[in-house]
Each structure stands twice: as structure tokens, then as C-alpha cells.
Amino acid sequence: MFDSIKQYLSRFSWPVWTAMTVMLVIGILAVRVAESVDPAIEGYARRQMLFAAVGMLGFFVATIIPYQRIGRYSLALFVGTLVLLVAVFFFPARRDCNRWIFIPGLETVSIQPSELAKLTFIISLAWYLRYRESYRRLRGLIAPFVLTMVPLGLIVMEPDLGTAMLLLPTLMVMLFMAGAKLRHLAVVVGLGVLVVFAPVPRAADQAEFESKIDWFNARKVGSVTFYSFNRPASGELSAWLRAPRLPVAYCRYRVGDGAVHDLQPLSVRVMSAMNKEYQVRRITGWLRPYDPRIRANVGFQQLQSIRILGAGRAAGQGDWNAVNTYFSMLPDDHTDFIFSIIGGQWGFVGCMLVLALYAVIFIFGADVAISTRDPFGRLLVMGVLALLAAQIFINVGMTMGLLPVTGMTLPLISYGGTSLLVNCVALGLLVNVAQRQPVSLAPKPFEFGRRIAPENRGRMSPVLPPRVIDGRHR
Amino acid sequence: MYNRRLIIFLVLVCVGMLVAVARLVDVQLVRGNDYADEMARAMRYTKLLPTTRGRIYDRTGARPLAIDEPCYDFSVDYRVLSREPAWLRRRTRQIARDEGISTAHAGRLLDQRIAWTYDEACRVTGTPRRQVDQNIQSVIDRVERWRRRAGTRIMEESQPHAVIRGCDSDQAVELRQRLDGMIGASVQVSSRRVYPHDDVACHIIGRVGQVSAETIEDDPNAGDVLREYAGGEVLGASGVERLTEQTLRGVRGRRVYERNGGELSYAAPVPGQDVYISIDIELQRRLQEVMARTSYNGAMVVLDVPSGEILAMVSVPTYDLNTYSKEFNVLASERVDLPLLNRAIGRAYPPGSCIKPATALAGLGDGRISLSTIFNCRGYLYVPTAFRCSSKYGHGDLALVDAIERSCNVYFYHVGELVGAERLGWWLGQLGFGRPSGLGLAGETNGLVPSSAWLWRHRHRRFFPADGRFMAIGQGLLSATPLQVANLMATVARDGVYMSPRLLMEGGPEQQVRDLKTMGISPEQIAAIQEGMRRVVNGAHGTARKHLRVGVEVCGKTGTAETSPQWFDDNENGRRDASEIAASGYMAWFSGYAPYGNPRIAFTIVQEYTPTYGGQTCGPIAQQMIGILQEFGYLP
């Protein structure tokens, strides 16, 4: 008993735990800042402390149960999650979204199955991929994609575009790390881009559309006119980052008969056809950030976010009450836009601290990923890292105006019980893998670099990884 | 391979981190101060406090002519007025959700309620629906124009705009009770310009109108938030309201609040300054009544001789300033009577014989005639068919005093010929003809005193001797406004001192003063002209002797100018068909000053298109006028 505790502690990944704990504290403080200026979220910091405690508990539980045992239940977990994702539609919608499961009448206690789905998805995919190499063929990619698309589709229908889109980079990273061929992945990504951005004729009522165009800022390139964007402020470092968005946003062209056609990306077209005006407007808001019309409504949140972030300057506002009332003018400041609160309150220093803490997790996570030789462990760690990376970059990019606004939390910091718990458990699994590194005589998994004789191509690897590394007994 | 790919993954994460850090540096360190300023700015908000427009008083300083009166405006949100599709969609969805009905049904419901909003407001305020529709259209036109000019969405697009103006408090209460069922409607406190004297001196006081996009463009105070014009505001559109706009207009107040409570600064609105004009409004009312009783359109000007101040300036027909906007369409379509025209300054008439004192001054001043110069009048100048006199058989030998008394054309034909048109024009210019009177009122015409340059440019010829003859008797190309003629009389009355007339008691354009005695006219010569004008009324042969019996010694000059009829080429054949003639006849004048010897007032009366002579037509009017002036104490 004592020995096992000693062993547990000696192999415990302290840097990861420390980083996580500091971030939980930062999160609580940031929520407290948001709470102090917005009476509508009174008492959320206290609840966030509770969530942090639960998350910490989840972290330790996830470190104690051997991850292999969890892996064995991956199918059950996956199916269970799917059931929850379907069950979501039987609960009343909040803010027009069916994202939460809660007891009617007790709305404050709710869970978000899409957050759980992130975790079960990683576990299931890692479990599925661990011994295979079918994904090294194009056809073999179908199964992992189907595995992804089922929860993804359900989450999109909620709708929770942000969380759904999170699964794709995670899948890509895990396939990439498992050794899928780059050209296959490139084909898939290419197809995806083509489908999402394919230009199709605009659906909106032409007259209404025309009336909204800011012709003052239209510019003509050949026979194609790009319009509806204002020139970015000169000398802006990120001006070039926006530049490629413009042709994608809208363009119009005249064909020989003189008829005017307007184009828009297929994904936007599909979403408008599905009446998901909310999402369409978010994307157009991002595509045309300097359009004053957009600025006034959909772009408002993002603009406010950048403003608050920037106003923090080097060391932050410091003062908790006077100017910071402005924080209350940022919707979702305690959840999705917590990063701009951190930037506003503690300035560049605070933001850099948060990014540095994430860097610590990545560095030690990568160390675990290299040192473990268990294929399931390797993929699990990579899945956790990919999931974290995607969440961080989408959230931070969104608060800084580099990416469109999606409902995405900043892991370990944003207010929200399910999100916090899931991310803590994910880190727990990472530490779990670090603690349990069985000695293996088998060759390192996913090393497909060696040349294989032509007659053996497409077949099983000549050396089978022995079953024993999998098991409870060695 | 796994390790290599892990490194690639880490490099990608690093790149992402670097981009994030770069953006943080950009946003927080490079542009942080801008955002902090922006945030601080957004944390306060400014409320502009409306000011009140100054009042206009008459010369007594106790009788207001134009005042701001509090009232209520029924306003509707611009998005409802313009039926903005996105807004309507949003409201429709909201209704559908709240009421649990289909979107189509909700859309119909919304339309019904918007229609009900207008109908109910019309019913309560008794405004015709057409009027409301017109107001809505003009609001939309105005906002659209501004939006196009600004190039972006403007604040006015999401603000309420007044649809029915000037509701009283009872109507406001009734409207407020119905606001719940209305869409985007509100009742706002406002003020309206009220003119207590309705149509008296309407042309002088003038009216206020809506600020137009052009006004905003040419605003001299542009950039000064407290002074510049804003949409939906009123500004002086004509008359004194326009002339003294910058005085009447106040300065707005400003209150700056902090979002979380406190008030940062407060500047009280500065009300507009009051303006005092030289008109005696009760005198004006009485004289206007006199003028309105005649069957002709016309004008009357009464000047205070010592100061040059205008005591009354009547132009008939008049219109009611308080109902102007409602009646505008009718008023503007009156093309024969032209009620909006201020005839006293806005229309140039041939002055006829009223110009003869000026011709005499020119002849005497240039030394072409003397007081003893005698011309013989045979009833015509050279041949019986042209340049005839008013007397069929001639006046015989006449000196200047007799010529003025009998208004002998032949005498003045000779003077005009001797002086010449060019030189006569110069003298008329010195007397204020052919140039602005100096009041500064909009819509004023200069009249016409032809010069050789003007003639060459517009008629492509040089002066003929006939031009001088015609100008000498106030016919031909010469035209003048009643105010100019009245001021000529005042100049004669002041013994040859020209003063530009004044309308504002203080401020306004500087008064010009010229003494003709420095230009070669002697006091005896002036006295002779005054004597001639005295005899016009009081002499045995005076042209107005039968028509004016009053207690004071009035000096006058009648005038009967022939003029072309008023006609409209309705069938556009370029010919003057009999059916197209709206009015024809003489322009009948009677001008003068009183009393002789100690002049107090100078006056001019014009009647348009009369069948009778000046003395006959205007003499009785002048008699009433003198009586009223005596009653008011302006004459002994």
C-alpha cells in the first residue's frame, strides 16, 4: 500500500499538475473579475471553485485507474456518449441550442455531453487505432472518419459548431501521429477545404443584398469585383492575416451576358439554407471585421474582446471597479472570452503566463508521448495534446480576432463544470500514461519509416507486437 | 517516424504560440493605448440637451412675433418607417416565438400592428393619413440621402423620427396610452415655433424649416457639436428667422455621463438671443388690413425718416405662418397671386412717375437743368404719336416745381435726354436703385437700373436717347422695389441724405449714409423738389389733390406705370393668347413723406394691375394710412 503510493508519487508528473493547478486558480480569479462587474453572474467564482475541486478529483481518479483498463471500456463509453448526445435533443433548448442535459426545474445543474464526447472520442479512437495500420491506406481512413463523423454530426445538429470542429484537427493529429500517409491526409484536407469554401451562387434576395453592399469600398480586379470590406488600418501587424479572407468573403463577377452573379462559400450557403443565420453571421462577421455594419452587431462581441484585451496593455488594468465595468459589456466574458478578461485585467504579462503554462503541458506531454512505448498510450497522449492545442488556439484566436467566433471554452480556465472536468480528466489520463510505462520488448509502435518489400506492402507488419504489453500481467 | 512527427506537431504548436504572441504584442503593446482610450471613451456617453430658439420682438420690445412653444412629437423608429427587412424579420420571429404562432401569421400580425400604429396616431391627432405618409417619405428621403453621403450606417437609421409634429398635451396623453399596442412608436417632448400674430408681417418674420442635407454640408459651425446643425432640427427658412439665424439659434447643452454612474461634465444649453425688429406689429396689422381690403395685390412700406427704420412693410396677399406647412401646397401653387412673395422687396415694378424726384435730382446734380429751366409741354415731346404726356393738350411752359406737381412727362423726357441714360443710371444707383437695400433679407431683388454694359450684354445694343427719356419717367427697362422707392422719398425728406433702410433694431448690416449735397446738389434744389411734392397733394393742380384729405401736410408723388400683363404661356405656343392673360393694367403708385417741413415718415403704396391711375387708386389708401399713423402717434 505504502509502496504503491510512493511509486505513484515518484512517477507523478508534477509539472503538469502544477501548471494545471495554477491555471485553475487563474480561472477562478478571472471569473471573479468577470463576476465583480456583472451582477448577472453573481456567485460564479464560488461555483468555479467547486468545479475546480471536482476537476482535481477527476484528475486524480483518472491517474489512479490504469488507462489500459479505461481503454477496454472505450466502446461502452463511446456508445454511452452517443446516447447522451441524442438525449440532448429531448431537453428544452437554451439560447436556441440543445447543448445541455439537465433536470427540468433545476437548470443550474447541467452537463454538456459534447464536452464528454471530446474525451470519449479520443479514448475510442486511440483504442481503435492502436494495433492497426489499415489507416495507411486511403480506404482504411474511412473507418476513423466514420467514427468521428457520428459524434461530430450530432454535435453540429445541437448546434455547437465550435466543439464539433474540434474533433477534426484532433482526428487529423492522431492519424498523423499514428503514421497515416501524409498524401492521404492532404487529399482529405483538400477535399474538406474544397467542400467548405467552394464558391456557389448566393442565395439571398438580390435587391436586399445589393442594398447592404458598401460600394464605397468595392474594388475591381479584372472582371471580378470584391466588395464589402474596409481597408484595415495601415501599419497593423495582422492586416495581412485578414487579407486572404477577402476573396472568400464575397465576390461578384459579370459574365458575358452582363448578368451579375454573387458568390459565397458553400458552407455558408448550406448554413443559410439550413436557416442557421446565427452561424452565417458569425462567419461573415469574421470575414468582414471592418465593415461598420458588421461592427455594429455580430462583430460586436469580437471587437469588444479585442478592445478589452488591448486595453490591458503590458500590466493590465489593476483597478477592479472603475473602468473594468466595461468588461460587463462583453457577452460571455466568463466562459468563451475569459482570455480577454485575463488580458484586460493582468495585461500582456497575464496572457504570457497562461500561454507559458500551456507550453509546460505541451513540453511534458510530448516527453510522455515519446517515452511511452505502448501504442494506446502514445495515441491517447497525442489525442489529449491535440485536443488541448486545438481548443487553445481556436479560443485564443477567436478572442484576438484571428478566427471567427465559435462557442469554445479555454481549457482549464473558462467557467464551466463539464469543460473543466473533462480537461482535468484528460490531463489525468496523460499523467496516467506517464506513470505506467511498461517495459516492452516489442519494437516501437507506429514506426512505419522502414522500407517494406513490395510483396509485403499492404499486408501486416512482419513483426507482430506482442499482446502482453497490453495486459494487466506481464 | 513517430518522433519526427511529434517534432512536427510541436513545431506547429510553437508556430501557433508565436502567432498568438505576435498578435498579443500587436494588440496589447503596440496598440494598447488606442484601445484603452477607446474603452475609456466608450465608458462615457454624451447627451446633448436641446436649446430654445430666441424670440423675435417688434420695435416696442414687448410684443413677441415668434416664440418657441413646448409641444409633443409622435415619433416612430426609423426601422419601422423604412420597413427594414432585417428588423421586420427579427420582430416577426420574436412575435412568432412569444405568441407561439407561425412566422407567416406573425408577419401579418406585425403588418397589421404597424398600420394600426399610424391609423391610431392619425385618429387621435386628427391628421390626415396622406400627410403622415408624406412625412414618412420625407424622413426616409432625408435619412437615405445622409446615409449615402456618409457611406455607412448612420445613427439616424435606428432612431425615432417625428411623424406627427406639434401635438398638444391632451393628444400626447392619449397617444401615450396607446403606445403599448404600437410598434416602435414614442411620444417625445419637442417645441414648435408659434407666431402669435398669424399672418401679420408674415413675409418679414419668415418661417422656420427643416434642416436639409445641403445646410449641414455648408454649416459654418460644422465640427462644433454644440452648434452644428443636426438632422430633424429647425432653422430659419425665410425672413428675419433666416436673417438672424445665428443669433436666434442657441448653443446646445452637453451632459457627459460615466457608464457606471457619475456625471463627468455638464454644460447648460445657452438659449438663443432675442431679436428686435423695427416693425410696429400693431401698425403693421392695421395697415395690412387696409391693404387687404383693396381688390388688388400690392405692397406698402412705411419708413421712419430720421433713422431709416422700417415701421411697416406690407405685402398682400399674406399667409398664416402657423399653418404654413399645412397649406404649403396650396400657397406654392398660387401662381397669380404669389402669396409667398414679399412684394415690398421681392418684386421689381416699373416705378413710373414716382422716380421723377430722382430724375430731377440727377438733372440738377449734373447741372443739366436749373430751377429756372423751363420746358414747354404740348402734350407730346416731338411728334404727337410718341412720348406723350398725361395731359392731352399739354401743360404749357413748366419749371421743375410745376412739372413735379403736374407730373409732366414731357418735362422729364427733356431732363432724361439731357442727362442721358448712363448718367441717370449712376444717380439712381446713388439713391439706392438697382442694388440691394442692405436689409439682408433673402428673396430680395435689386430691381434693374440698366447700364450700357448691361444693355450690351443683355440687349446687344447701345443706349438710345429714348432709353434716357423712358428711364426719366420710370418706364422702359427701369424697375424698382417699393422699398427702394420709399427710401427715395425718405432721402428727399432728409434733405438729400441717403440712408439704407434698417429692419433690425440692433446688429445686422451696417447702415450706409450718403449726403447728396456733397455731390453738387444745393439745399434750394432739394427744397424745390420738396415743394413740388408738397403741391402734388396740396397744390391747385396736384395729381393727388382730390384723393387725399388729411390733417397733416403730406408731400407725395403719384405714379402710374404701364406694364405688360401677367400671363402664362400654358399652351406653349410662345404667343400671348387672350385666355392666357391673368392680370393687366397699371402699376399704381403713391409715395411720399409727411409732414412737410418736419418729416417723420416716408411711405410707398403700390397696387398691381389696376385700371385706374396712381392717385386715384392709392390716394384713399394713403389717406387711411395717414390716419392710422396719426392714431399711433407717428404723425402729429
Encode B32-48 in three state secondary structure: HHHHHHHHHHHCEEEEE
pLDDT band at A286; cut points 50, 70, 90: low
Spell out which residues of chain A touch residue B15, defining contact as CB-CB under 8 Å.
none
Q: CB–CB of B29 and A314 under 8 A?
A: yes
By C-alpha distance, the chain B residue nearest A306 is B27
Q: CB–CB of B151 and A446 under 8 A?
A: no
Q: What's the complex ipTM?
A: 0.83
Write the residue in A326, A393, A448 that is nearest to B43 by C-beta.
Answer: A326
Rounded distance between C-alpha atoms, residue A123 and residue A73, angstroms: 9
Asked if A452 is an interface residue toward chain B (Cβ–Cβ < 8 A), one would say no
Q: CB–CB of A313 and B28 under 8 A?
A: yes
pLDDT band at A55; cut points 50, 70, 90: very high
Q: CB–CB of A292 and B152 under 8 A?
A: yes
Minimal C-alpha gap between A4 and chain B (Å): 31
Mean pLDDT calculated for residue range B559-585 = 86
By C-alpha distance, the chain A residue nearest B40 is A323
Q: Please check the confidence at residue A317 and state whether its pLDDT lies above 70.
A: yes
Q: Which residues contact A65 (CB under 8 A, 6 or more apart)?
A: A432
Cβ atoms < 10 Å from Cβ of B55:
18
By C-alpha distance, the chain B residue nearest A313 is B28
- Residue A78, pLDDT score: 94
- Residue A220, pLDDT score: 52
Mean pLDDT calculated for residue range A177-182 = 84
Mean pLDDT calculated for residue range B188-196 = 87
Asked if A306 is an interface residue toward chain B (Cβ–Cβ < 8 A), one would say yes
Q: What is the pLDDT of residues A95-115, one digit of tens each?
A: 667 788 887 776 667 888 888
Spell out which residues of chain A touch residue B16, defining contact as CB-CB under 8 Å.
389, 392-393
By C-alpha distance, the chain B residue nearest A444 is B2
**ω before B196 within 30° of 0 (cis)?**
no
Q: CB–CB of B9 and A448 under 8 A?
A: no
- Residue A409, pLDDT score: 87
Mean pLDDT calculated for residue range B574-602 = 90
Spell out which residues of chain A touch residue B28, defining contact as CB-CB under 8 Å.
309-310, 312-314, 343, 347-348, 351
Query: DSSP per residue over B344-362, as a string?
Result: HHH--B--GGGGHHHHHHH
Q: Please check the confidence at residue A275 and state whether its pLDDT lies above 80.
A: no
pLDDT band at B188; cut points 50, 70, 90: confident
Q: CB–CB of A402 and B1 under 8 A?
A: no
Asked if B34 is an interface residue toward chain A (Cβ–Cβ < 8 A), one would say yes
pLDDT band at A458; cut points 50, 70, 90: low
Minimal C-alpha gap between A97 and chain B (Å): 15
Spell out which residues of chain B touch residue A447, defining contact as CB-CB under 8 Å.
1-2
Q: CB–CB of A293 and B152 under 8 A?
A: yes
Q: Please check the confidence at residue A210 and state whether its pLDDT lies above 60.
A: no
Asked if A300 is an interface residue toward chain B (Cβ–Cβ < 8 A), one would say no
Burial B409-431 (b: 16+ CB within 10 A, else e): bbbbbbbbbbbbbbbbbbbbebb
Q: Which of A176, A303, A346 to mutate to test the interface with B (most CBs of B within 10 A)?
A: A176
Q: Please check the confidence at residue B422 and state whether its pLDDT lies above 90.
A: yes
Contact criterion met (CB below 8 Å) for A92 and A106 = no
Q: What is the pLDDT of residues B66-122, one digit of tens each?
A: 998 888 989 999 989 988 888 888 888 888 888 888 888 888 888 898 999 999 999
Q: Comparing A310-319, A395-404, A435-444, B625-634, which segment has the lowest mean pLDDT?
A: A435-444
Q: Could you tell me which of B532, B533, B519, B488 has the C-alpha nearest to residue B367?
A: B519
Q: Which residue has the cell 412675433?
A: B65
Rounded distance between C-alpha atoms, residue A238 and residue B28, angstroms: 13
Asked if B18 is an interface residue toward chain A (Cβ–Cβ < 8 A), one would say no
Asked if A247 is an interface residue toward chain B (Cβ–Cβ < 8 A), one would say no
Minimal C-alpha gap between A5 and chain B (Å): 31
Q: Comparing A345-354, B18-27, B481-490, B508-517, which segment has the lowest mean pLDDT?
A: B508-517
Q: CB–CB of A326 and B13 under 8 A?
A: no
Q: What is the pLDDT of residues B20-46, one digit of tens each?
A: 999 999 889 988 888 888 777 777 777
Q: CB–CB of A326 and B42 under 8 A?
A: yes
**ω before B350 within 30° of 0 (cis)?**
no
Mean pLDDT of chain A: 77
Q: Count of CB contacts below 8 A, A vs B? A: 129
Query: DSSP per residue over A345-377, as a string?
Result: HHHHHHHHHHHHHHHHHHHHHHHHHHH---HHH
Q: Please check the confidence at residue A285 and state whether its pLDDT lies above 70.
A: no
Write the residue in B17, B23, B30 that is nearest to A402 by C-beta.
Answer: B23
User: Please, which residues 238-267 of chain B have a Cβ atom closer than 8 Å to chain A?
Assistant: 259-260
- Residue A358, pLDDT score: 95
Mean pLDDT calculated for residue range A381-400 = 92
Contact criterion met (CB below 8 Å) for B427 and B358 = yes
Mean pLDDT of chain B: 89
Asked if A182 is an interface residue toward chain B (Cβ–Cβ < 8 A), one would say no
Q: Please check the confidence at residue B493 and state whether its pLDDT lies above 90.
A: yes
Spell out which residues of chain A touch residue B152, defining contact as CB-CB under 8 Å.
214, 292-293
Mean pLDDT calculated for residue range A92-96 = 74
By C-alpha distance, the chain A residue nearest B84 is A208
By C-alpha distance, the chain A residue nearest B155 is A296
Spell out which residues of chain B touch residue A449, defining contact as CB-CB under 8 Å.
1, 4
The more confidently predicted of residues B528 and A226 is B528
End-to-end Cα separation, chain B, in angstroms: 121
DSSP E strands, B329-401 = 375-377, 396-398
Write the residue in A325, A392, A400 that is nearest to B43 by C-beta.
Answer: A325
Q: Could you tell me which of B588, B586, B593 has the C-alpha nearest to residue B618?
A: B588
User: Please, which residues 47-106 of chain B have a Cβ atom closer than 8 Å to chain A?
Assistant: 85
- Residue A246, pLDDT score: 43
- Residue A217, pLDDT score: 47
Mean pLDDT calculated for residue range B357-372 = 94
pLDDT band at A460; cut points 50, 70, 90: low
Write the residue in A173, A393, A396 that is nearest to B9 by C-beta.
Answer: A173
Q: Please check the confidence at residue A250 and state whether its pLDDT lies above 50.
A: no
End-to-end Cα separation, chain A, in angstroms: 20
Minimal C-alpha gap between B512 and chain A (Å): 51
pLDDT band at A314; cut points 50, 70, 90: confident
Spell out which residues of chain B touch residue A323, defining contact as CB-CB under 8 Å.
39-40, 43
Give the whole-number percent of chain B exceeding pLDDT 90: 51
pLDDT band at A249; cut points 50, 70, 90: very low
Spell out which residues of chain B touch residue A326, defining contact as CB-CB under 8 Å.
39, 42-43, 259
Rounded distance between C-alpha atoms, residue B603 and residue B626, angstroms: 10
Q: Comparing A126-135, B343-352, B387-396, which segment has the lowest mean pLDDT?
A: A126-135
Q: CB–CB of B85 and A378 under 8 A?
A: no
Minimal C-alpha gap between A215 and chain B (Å): 8
- Residue A243, pLDDT score: 43
Burial A293-302 (b: 16+ CB within 10 A, else e): bbbeebbebb
Mean pLDDT calculated for residue range B616-634 = 93
Rounded distance between C-alpha atoms, residue B472 and residue B449, angstroms: 11
Handedness of CA B601, B607, B608, B609 (dihedral sign): negative
pTM score of the predicted model? 0.63
- Residue A221, pLDDT score: 53
Q: CB–CB of A366 and B6 under 8 A?
A: yes
Q: Which of A325, A354, A367, A372 to mutate to test the interface with B (most CBs of B within 10 A)?
A: A325
Q: What is the pLDDT of residues A404-450, one digit of tens each?
A: 777 788 999 999 888 899 999 999 999 999 888 766 666 677 776 55
Q: CB–CB of A355 and B26 under 8 A?
A: no
Q: CB–CB of B6 and A369 under 8 A?
A: yes
Q: CB–CB of B1 and A326 under 8 A?
A: no
